[in-house]
Structure 1
Amino acid sequence: MEQPPPTTYLVNGAAIRTRRKDLGMDLAECAATAHISRAYLNQLELGLRRHMKPPTYHRLRTALRIEPPDRRLLAPNEDPHRKE
Structure 2
Amino acid sequence: MEQPPPTFQVKGAEIRKLRMQAGLSTDEMAKKALISRRYLNHLENGYRTRMRPGPYQRLRTALGLPADSTRLLGPPEDPPQER
Indicate whether the TM-score tops 0.5.
yes
TM-score, with length taken from structure 2: 0.87
Paired residues in the alignment total 78
Please tell me whether Structure 1 or Structure 2 has the larger radius of gyration of its CA atoms: 2
- Letter of the aligned partner of 2:18 in structure 1? R
TM-score, with length taken from structure 1: 0.86
Q: CA RMSD in A?
A: 1.5
Unaligned runs of at least 5 residues, structure 2: 79-83
Match of 2:10?
11
State, as a whole percentage, how many aligned pairs show the same letter: 49
Match of 2:65?
66
Q: Which runs of 4+ in 1 moved over 2 A?
A: 76-79
Unaligned runs of at least 5 residues, structure 1: 80-84
Cα gap change, 1:12 to 1:78, in 2 (>3 Å): farther
